[in-house]
């Protein structure tokens, strides 16, 4: 491949259309795949003990921690780059990433015995960590084809590797757990998923791996990539209270309960990561147009919370029968943490949009400073709270951080573009609160799965009805706008 430019320039109208269609495609895909994932998780929650989930959460944290050093944000740097990409940009990125990932896998292999003894992961712990680390290498091979699709906002093609990964993972893991493979069902399933996703991605977005070294290109990539990766690294340190500190103080069972509470309280934001996959390159492309950028951020906040608010209130109202009917009573100890974390999820749609916007707009110094502050607050509050309230204290600390982050991120975004928030969210919040109260009044009736779904469905209909009454004009405008995008992609 020559060193010529390898991507076309996109017009503002193309960016708008592809961004909207990308959000719709990824959101629909996310709901479908999360339905499969949560169904698989329900089976696993019934088949496996909380201790197994706790061990897997600790091992996952160790691997994900080292994953930050195997990438240093090189992929994000290519996505955020204002200029068009060249083949040499890709080759340099790929070369640097492979050097890093091989180094990291070797380090993990050597230090696996230490981690195993520190967290008492059992006789299999060393090889759990070592085999899991192979996933880092498989993931690194997917970076360049994914970037090429994301730069072009071609999310309709990017969904297929993830479809294959999720479906294959759930089928294999549940099957292996059924046959008694325990923790190994999760490890084997993860590696198999990564391998299949890699094959499918290269099939739909062929790219021949190439190696090159260029100091100038490398410096430009690292200048954005390292602060961006520092974002994830600091966020991981911030959230390490749960798997690392709680695991050391309260044991793997407590981590298992926490993992369950956090995982299922995040159901309302299951589409948030995919929204950011669209908004990150979109905001980066339109950052020069403040009026368009303001509208884009406000639309993100509005549409995100149209789904998030009702999901939070309905989950809170129906949590008790959901646990009793679906997950069995062994997960009852995690309910308090579940409720507490939902309180924080309520504002994640706003805070995440603001933080993601800062990164997409290249305001890396502000974002890093905020993340460092949030990390300090999380550890300063969570450590004493864990000693006072057990594993629930870790969740309380994380919620405190979220409510501190809201005014701070809002302030910094407002300095760039005067974003309006309250006008975008109050109708959905009010309608969701009413629907949640209705569900709470009816939850005594949820004595079996059919009645549980019936109450959830009636509450959902009540939400849509009240939303239409409160925000009829804007809803009709949004529907016409989205329909125009669909008719003229």
For residue range 336-353, list pLDDT tens digits in order.
999 999 999 999 989 988
Of 72, 132, 135, 67, the closest CA to residue 104 belongs to 67
Please check the confidence at residue 57 and state whether its pLDDT lies above 80. no
Question: Above 60 in pLDDT, residue 395?
Answer: yes
Judge if pTM exceeds 0.75: no
Burial (CB count within 10 angstroms: exposed 0-12, middle 13-18, buried 19+), residue 156: middle
Mean pLDDT of the chain: 79
Q: How far apart are CA 445 and CA 439, in angstroms?
A: 10
**Rounded-to-integer distance, Cα 261 and Cα 395, Å:** 9
Residue range 184-226, pLDDT digits in tens: 888 888 888 888 888 888 888 888 888 887 777 777 777 666 6
The reported pLDDT for the residue numbered 331 is 84
Q: What is the pLDDT, as a whole number, of residue 128? A: 81
**pLDDT of 8 higher than 60:** no
**Residue 296 and residue 286 in contact, taking contact as beta carbons nearer than 8 Å:** yes
Please compute the mean of the pLDDT values over residues 99-109 and round it to a whole number.
88
The pLDDT score that the predictor gives to residue 2 is 39
Residue 30 CA: distances (Å) to CA of 8, 23, 163, 314 = 28, 10, 9, 19
Residues for the chain: how many in total? Answer: 489
For range 14-20, the mean pLDDT: 50
- For 418-428, what is each residue's pLDDT tens digit? 898 998 899 99
Whether 337 contacts 391, CB under 8 Å: yes
User: pLDDT-derived band of residue 5, with 50, 70 and 90 as boundaries?
Assistant: very low
In percent, the amount of the chain with pLDDT more than 70 equals 76
Which helix (DSSP H) or strand (DSSP E) does residue 4 occupy? none
Using N-to-C axis directions, what is the helix angle for 12-47 and 155-178, rounded to 10°? Answer: 0
Distance between CA atoms of residues 301 and 222, nearest Å? 30
Question: Both tokens of residue 260?
Answer: 């369950």
Q: Each residue of 444-487: pLDDT tens digit?
A: 888 888 888 899 999 999 999 999 999 888 888 777 766 665 55
Strand partners for 5: 86
Which residues neighbour 285 within 8 Å (Cβ) at sequence distance 6 or greater? 10, 15
Q: Does the structure show a pLDDT above 90 at 274?
A: no
3 — pLDDT class (breaks 50, 70, 90): very low
Q: What is the pLDDT of residue 147?
A: 76
Per residue in 308-338, pLDDT (tens digit) is 999 999 999 999 998 888 887 888 888 999 9
Packing angle of the helix pair 12-47, 449-487 (nearest 10 deg): 160
Residue 426 has a pLDDT of 92
Answer with the residue of higher pLDDT: 96 or 251: 96
**Cβ(272)–Cβ(68) below 8 Å:** no
């Amino acid at each position: 491949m020559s060193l010529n430019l390898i991507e076309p320039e996109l017009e503002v109208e193309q960016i708008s259309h592809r961004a909207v269609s990308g959000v719709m495609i990824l959101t629909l895909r996310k709901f479908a795949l999360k339905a499969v994932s949560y169904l698989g998780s329900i089976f696993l929650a019934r088949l496996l003990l909380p201790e197994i989930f706790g061990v897997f959460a600790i091992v996952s944290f160790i691997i994900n921690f080292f994953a930050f050093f195997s990438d240093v944000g090189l992929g994000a740097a290519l996505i955020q780059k204002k200029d068009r990409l060249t083949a040499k940009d890709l080759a340099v990125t790929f070369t640097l990433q492979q050097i890093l990932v091989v180094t990291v896998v070797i380090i993990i292999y050597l230090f696996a015995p230490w981690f195993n003894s520190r967290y008492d992961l059992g006789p299999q712990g060393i090889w759990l960590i070592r085999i899991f680390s192979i996933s880092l290498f498989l993931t690194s091979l997917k970076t360049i084809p994914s970037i090429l699709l994301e730069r072009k906002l071609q999310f309709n093609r990017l969904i297929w590797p993830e479809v294959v990964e999720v479906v294959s993972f759930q089928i294999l893991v549940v099957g292996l757990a059924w046959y008694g493979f325990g923790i190994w069902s999760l490890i084997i399933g993860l590696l198999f998923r990564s391998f299949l996703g890699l094959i499918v991605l290269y099939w739909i977005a062929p790219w021949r791996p190439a190696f090159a070294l260029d100091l100038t290109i490398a410096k430009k990539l690292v200048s954005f990539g390292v602060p961006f990766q520092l974002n994830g690294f600091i966020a991981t340190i911030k959230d390490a209270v749960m798997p690392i500190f709680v695991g050391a103080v309260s044991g793997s069972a407590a981590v298992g309960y926490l993992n369950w509470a956090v995982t299922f309280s995040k159901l309302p934001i299951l589409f948030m990561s995919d929204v950011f996959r669209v908004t990150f390159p979109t905001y980066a492309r339109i950052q020069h147009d403040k009026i368009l950028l303001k509208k884009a951020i406000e639309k993100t906040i509005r549409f995100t919370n149209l789904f998030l608010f009702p999901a939070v209130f309905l989950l809170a109202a129906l949590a008790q029968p959901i646990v009793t009917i679906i997950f069995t009573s062994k997960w009852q100890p995690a309910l308090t943490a579940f409720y507490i974390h939902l309180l924080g999820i309520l504002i994640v749609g706003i805070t995440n949009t603001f933080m993601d916007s800062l990164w997409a707009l290249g305001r890396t110094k502000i974002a890093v400073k905020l993340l460092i502050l949030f990390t300090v607050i999380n550890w300063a509050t969570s450590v004493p709270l864990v000693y006072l309230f057990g594993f629930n204290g870790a969740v309380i600390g994380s919620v405190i951080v979220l409510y501190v982050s809201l005014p701070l991120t809002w302030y910094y975004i407002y300095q760039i573009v005067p974003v309006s928030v309250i006008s975008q969210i109050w109708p959905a919040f009010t309608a969701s609160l009413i629907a949640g109260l209705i569900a709470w009044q009816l939850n005594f009736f949820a004595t079996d799965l059919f009645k549980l779904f019936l109450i959830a469905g009636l509450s959902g209909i009540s939400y849509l009805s009240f939303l239409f009454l409160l925000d009829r004009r804007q809803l009709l405008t949004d529907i016409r706008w989205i329909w125009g995008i669909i008719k003229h992609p």
